[in-house]
Amino acid sequence: MANNFKKQEREELHKAIWNIANDLRGSVDGWDFKQYVLGIMFYRYISENITNYINEGEHEAGKNNFDYSKLSDSEAEQAREDMVKTKGFFILPSQLFCNVRTNANKYPKYKENLNETLEKIFKSIENSAKGSDSEDDFKGLFDDIDVNSNKLGATVAKRNEKLLKILDNIGDMKLGNYKDNTIDAFGDAYEFLMGMYASNAGKSGGEYYTPQEVSELLTKLTVVGKTEVNKVYDPACGSGSLLLNFAKVLGKDKVRQGFFGQEINLTTYNLCRINMFLHDIDYDKFNIACDDTLLSPQHWDEEPFEAIVSNPPYSIKWPGDEDIKLINDPRFAPAGVLAPKSKADLAFVMHSLSWLATNGTAAIVCFPGIFYRGGAEQKIRQYLIDNNFIDCIIQLPDNLFFGTSIATCIMVLKKSKKDNATLFIDASKYCVKVTNNNKLRTGQNGDIEKILKLFSERRDVENIAKVVSNEEIASNNYNLSVSTYVEKQETKEKIDIKELNAKIKEIVSHEDALRTEIDKIIKDLED
């Protein structure tokens, strides 16, 4: 019963989001539009978050009728210092989502200046964290919500009309109190929006989005046999969905020191921080940096990470051996060679290995070429195999990711292995087709659980899995393609003898008829 209710809740939420997107589609399209929806959703979330927190404290003190949203700003000011320390931010009652929405609908003059009001509120929320430990987590968080953009409308009045429509639509969404909700409503809404826009936006959206099922598999691979980890890390974290799967799989309190990541794209970096808040991860439990991970890593001083997951960008360019500093970088130097300038894939692998704890596991999405190409990439593979860092290579089905139909693989890294061998798994058939994409099935006996079982058991399974000595891999020029070691099952087609005989008779009969016709033509020509 509870599962049915949960499913119903989620379907209603998704339907509401889809209706918002359809209703407001037009001047602001697709991937751009998500900034407004997610930004305003975040604004609603933190408004309700701080209101609920203050109300609960006052109710526990016996003030049962207390409602923070009804206080005057001057009365509320006394809570500012404590809220910034506890929550990392502060919002005055007049700035709360519910009050802004009500006033904009009630008072025409208020609506006329809605864009300016929202801009001031967003700045005020950001400024409330200045000088505190949470400053970096709130700085620039609302930068992508341009309330004065022409995309919202050609005139100020039209922009405010659109902004109010967004406020109303998001205000009508049944998100409830996140503590009481049977689903992680805000977080689920975020993920649904990201998936919806990624699927419609092709590569422009897909580069930021890893399908939830792939995220779940990566997360579970890194925590096999564990109930908690010290902290988790993603060197190309995008919107943060990979990191946040640890909160779902283990529980956020079981990630003891928090969630860490780095993202080069400013917009996506902002979305990642918003995503952390929407999943109820407090500001002191995440550390997301905005910079180039390969050239300017931001977590040098951190204790190594027990769990690393990543879907790094595919074959991007980087300076490589043109930058003399990189060959001496302790992340890349051990291999004695740098990833090619046109293909930085293995640079991300080496970076992740460097950041990995001795007892840790890293699971990284990789594209096929890095497993068999020669040159520098072969030498890096040699380093990884000769030092026994590669635990497993998993071939995934094709067409799993938005924006590409190429079949990807997962490389699993460990620094403390029990054997001097590598496991190869062919999971290319473990999927179901959904619309234009393939999808990993979740739940008991689903594709994810089947892959995890093969990974955990670490034994040969005909046509599916093989444990290969690193010595044999070396003899194959360090080729890591799964197809090199796991033979494909021969598909023997069943032959219906009666049907085959009937077809042969038909062919022979047709052939006889043709021969008769040809003989007749020849005879006519001779005459």
Token pair of 277 as six digits? 């808040």
Task: Give Cβ neighbours of residue 191 (< 8 Å, ≥ 6 apart).
Answer: 212, 241
- Residue keyed to tokens 């001047």: 27
User: 3-state DSSP call for residue 369?
Assistant: helix
Helical spans, DSSP H, in 114-265: 114-128, 135-138, 156-172, 185-201, 203-206, 212-222, 241-249
How far out from the chain centre does Cα 22 lie?
Answer: 24
In whole angstroms, what is the distance from residue 102 CA to residue 110 CA? 10
Q: Which amino acid is at 463?
A: N
pLDDT digits (tens, 9 = 90+) for 64-120: 899 999 999 999 999 999 999 999 999 999 999 999 999 999 999 999 999 999 999
pLDDT attached to residue 495: 59
Q: Pull the structure tokens for residue 106.
A: 């009630």
Sheet strands (E) in 227-347: 232-234, 259-263, 286-290, 305-310
Residues 6+ apart with CB under 8 A from 45: 175, 178, 186, 277, 278
Please name the helix (run of DSSP H) or strand (run of DSSP E) that holds residue 432, with its range, or none: strand 432-434
Q: Are the C-beta atoms of residues 235 and 300 closer than 8 Å to each other?
A: no
Write the single-letter amino acid at 280: D
Q: Which amino acid is at 84?
A: V
Strands 409-414 and 390-395: antiparallel
394 - beta bridge partners? Answer: 410, 425
Q: Find the helix or strand (DSSP H, E) in which 348 lies.
A: helix 345-355
- Tell me the pLDDT of the chain (527 aa) as tens digits: 445 556 777 777 777 777 777 666 654 555 566 778 888 888 998 999 999 999 999 998 888 899 999 999 999 999 999 999 999 999 999 999 999 999 999 999 999 999 999 999 999 999 999 999 999 999 999 988 889 988 888 899 999 998 998 899 889 887 765 455 444 666 677 777 767 666 655 444 444 467 888 889 999 999 999 999 999 999 999 888 899 999 989 999 999 999 999 999 888 898 889 889 888 899 999 999 999 999 999 998 889 999 999 999 888 999 999 998 999 999 999 999 999 999 999 999 999 999 999 999 999 999 989 999 999 999 999 999 999 999 999 999 888 776 667 788 999 999 999 999 999 999 988 878 777 777 888 888 889 999 999 999 999 999 999 999 999 999 999 999 999 999 887 654 555 666 767 777 777 777 777 777 776 766 666 65
Nearest CA-CA partner of 145 in 120, 168, 108, 127: 120
Contact assessment for residue 459 and residue 465, using Cβ atoms and an 8 Å cutoff: yes
Q: Is 100 exposed, middle or buried (0-12, 13-18, 19+ CB in 10 A)?
A: buried
Residue 490, pLDDT score: 64
CA-based R_g, the chain, Å: 29
